[in-house]
Amino acid sequence: QVQLVESGGGLVQAGGSLRLSCAASGLTFSTYAMGWFRQAPGKEREFVARISMNGIGIYYADSVKGRFTISRDNAKNTVYLQMNSLKPEDTAVYYCAASSPARGWGLREANFDSWGQGTQVTVSS
pLDDT digits (tens, 9 = 90+) for 26-36: 999 999 999 99
Q: What is the reported pLDDT for 102? A: 87
Q: Which amino acid is at 87?
A: K
Q: What is the reported pLDDT for 103? A: 87
What string of DSSP letters covers 51-92?
E-TTS--EEE-TTTTTTEEEEEETTTTEEEEEE-S--GGG-E
Q: Which amino acid is at 109?
A: E
Residue pLDDT, tens place only, 67-121: 999 999 999 999 999 999 999 999 999 999 999 988 888 999 999 999 999 999 9
Rg, C-alpha atoms of the chain: 13
Percentages helix, strand, coil for the chain (3-state, rounded to 5) are 10, 50, 40
Residue pLDDT, tens place only, 1-15: 999 999 999 999 999
Report d(CA 104, CA 100) in Å as an integer. Answer: 7
